[in-house]
Structure 1
């Protein structure tokens, strides 16, 4: 693996110097290659991207509240994850990009930082990082762990190797019984595996909701975290809905910033009036355009708060779905596609009538129109979604009990 990692690094070097996104490229390169200076810290918390970072926020705040003197180093891999961390994680002593998983790079980083505990969010398994951390007697905790069906299949092909990597982890805090069974089947020691629930249920309202959403009058359909192949389905469904519900507005939020322009061009092909979020000024009295393209990061929860019905992306295409819990927190009926493997609890939402599965634009349009015609059904679906969230709160508190045992 070490040799493969070094080969991967050599292949990655051109990307490192040309990758779009990082505003401070010098810092990005230095941190990925482990060339920065590292202060001593107590806890190193790693969250690969935006979803994991948002999931980690309540844990980070709970740690700082319980242990205000502890220094926390926070790492991400993606630029968007880094951006969210810098906006929302003032509790961290340092925020950085994760160094490449090579012992040549990691040895110095770990020696200088000397973390007592390393926490990885969801299922980020880094063989060289884990091996070098154990040489420094660092406790390794996998928090909010999950193993999707596809990941489980992939890991099964290299089970002896994965079993060795898993043996380096001190505690596995899994989201649900399904993920716990999958990680046990891959070789995780049974006595180290716990089911504590999902951090993403530990939701709270943003300190302030986006004011610009108040300028949209009438019914709002939100489409959050969309991927290529979904936007066209959404726009076709919206066009159909508009025939019956003239005052309906659509807010569409692509998952990845590099797709903002692509989705804008797609909206143009449907001859719909639209405005980009970044073009909305305080002086604008009302938003009368059909579509708002959310070309910002960090406002999606606020959009879910103001919408009437929410579609959760990554579910009409085989991505595995994104966070169904955010719109549920705001008591919104939820539309999803058939691909929601990342959230096994989606079955509870479907069975209770809080979420509705569609496979194409026809089903999406018909489902939304049916809900809009029946105000009582709309409200009941939203209430059931919120009820499921309330029943599943407590994962962060259970994670803190585990952390207290190793600090």
Structure 2
């Protein structure tokens, strides 16, 4: 009788734990939803006027689950990337699915306006949508309207109500190109028992072993976590020669590309450069992360640079090389990939401020050595790879960065050799796309090859 009694006691405790978990989970969702609805009352009017300003009023309603396009095939695969970087990384996977699973209808979603613009440019003919606001009724409406067969989320863009509604509607969810920082891990650990329930995700395709261990630390079953490599290696463009008009403007000149910059990085770095007489002839292309900052930034640069030539990309015409020491502010969208092949060294922005950095791989793939500031928490693996082979240097201050820049510019061969080393390393790291596609098929999120 004793074993039976022990067994019954254990079952009772387990049942009590389950009941407690269910109660706690419902309580946490209630608190979460209450806060979100309160914030929505404050934020939705502002979001509506911003959508009007951007000429996208329809997007506002689509994020609430309304005015979604008619005729989307039921059972489509929804692929989501939060912004430009994730959407670009999605390119080889989407292409592989289209080639090997031609009967699979695809939908691409992105949270940001720039992400959606990039998706429409990269994936013509594919339905592109905004991602829904994470209110319980908006996510329910959204999923009811588009009726996806499965969802693939790039990196770690998960929202509790979206995930919960997918689970309730038997829509399997996978993470592709998964990564999770130590900071994010600490945050998720505090609420993992209730929110957002990582065990509801069917498959984790992660970039490396460190990320795999972090996901397993969140009680994700080990058999769901697979190391596939980084999709961004496969999404990198093939090596191309410098092209017009950039090669014409910066012919034979050393060009410092300041890419995806945030305020006040441009002014802080240029303030150091213009004080150095050895860098008087250096040409500079500044590509802000948000081109709508260009007008105000142009005024600041004009005051800072004095007599040094300053140009605005939208006002330029193809033609003769620019004067020595020219600075060009790029106020147009989507040109960074074309600028890199004409560059000598690149600085990646969002790294001198606590933003987490920007993707360093595109610059490295084009053969440029890379400079970054101290705040690269969102790209730890990429930074570790490039720094380990001498293709990346970091500096804690603008002064330190400019010092590194000078070292690379002392001889053309130094920058060229460092850039070539990074380029070769990225070529050898390709292959994540096929590994991810196979796992998605094996997990039942993709139909067998046609």
TM range (shorter): over 0.9
Greater shift in the superposed pair: 266-275 or 326-335: 266-275
1:77 aligns with 2:136: no
Q: 1:160 maps to which residue?
A: 193
The TM-score with structure 2 as length reference comes to 0.84
Identify the residue that residue 234 of structure 1 maps to in structure 2: 269
Structure 1 Cα separation of the partners of residues 68 and 326 of structure 2: 50
Other-structure match for 1:294: 330
Please give the residue correspondences for 1:223-372 in structure 2 after superposition, counting only pairs within 5 Å: 223-241=258-276, 243-270=277-304, 271=306, 272-282=308-318, 284-288=319-323, 290-345=326-381, 346-372=383-409
**For residue 8 of structure 1, what is the aligned residue in structure 2?**
39
Distance 1:20 1:360, change over 3 A: farther
The separation in 1 between residues aligned to 2:261 and 2:415, in whole angstroms, is 23
Note the C-alpha offset of 1:310: 0.8
Larger radius of gyration: 2
- Structure 1 residue corresponding to 2:181, chosen from 144, 148, 173: 148
Is contact 1:225–1:255 with CA below 8 Å preserved after alignment?
Answer: yes
| 1:124 matches 2:157 | yes
Aligned counterparts of 1:200 and 1:311: Cα–Cα separation in 2: 19
How many residue pairs were aligned?
403
Post-superposition offset of 1:259: 2.3
Runs of 5+ consecutive residues of structure 2 not aligned to the other structure: 1-31
- Which segments of 5 or more consecutive residues in structure 1 lack a partner in the other structure? none
What SS does the aligned partner of 2:379 have? coil
| Displacement after TM superposition at 1:46 (Å) | 1.0
Verify the 8 A CA contact 1:206 1:302 in the aligned structure 2. no
Offset at 1:175?
Answer: 1.4
SS in 1 for 2:380: coil
Match of 2:96 in 1: 62
Deviation at residue 365 of structure 1 after TM alignment: 2.2
Query: What is the TM-score of this pair, normalised by structure 1?
Result: 0.92
What CA distance in whole angstroms lies between the structure 2 residues aligned with 1:386 and 1:155? 35
| Cα deviation, residue 230, structure 1 | 1.5
**How big is the shift at 1:20?**
6.0
Instruction: Tell me if structure 1 keeps the 8 A contact 2:243–2:342.
Output: no
Query: Structure 1 residue aligned with 2:55, among 24, 33, 51?
Result: 24
- The SS at the match of 1:172 is strand
Q: Distance in 2 between matches of 1:172 and 1:4?
A: 29
Matched position secondary structure for 2:378: coil
Matched, 1:221 2:248: no
Provide the secondary structure at the position in 2 that maps to 1:200: helix
**1:99 — aligned with what?**
132
Shift of 1:209: 6.7
Q: Aligned in 2, Cα 1:240/1:59: closer, same or farther, shift over 3 Å?
A: farther
| Inter-CA distance 106–12: structure 2 relative to 1 (3 Å threshold) | same
CA separation of 1:261 and 1:181: change in aligned 2, threshold 3 A: farther
SS of residue paired to 2:274: helix
Deviations 1:160-198 (A, max 9, x none): 234x52111101111122222222222322221111111
The 8 Å contact of residues 21 and 79 in structure 1, kept in 2 or not, is answered as: no
Q: 1:112 aligns with which of 122, 135, 145?
A: 145
Distance 1:66 1:237, change over 3 A: farther
Q: Which residue of 1 aligns with 2:417?
A: 380
Root-mean-square deviation (CA, aligned residues, Å) is 2.1
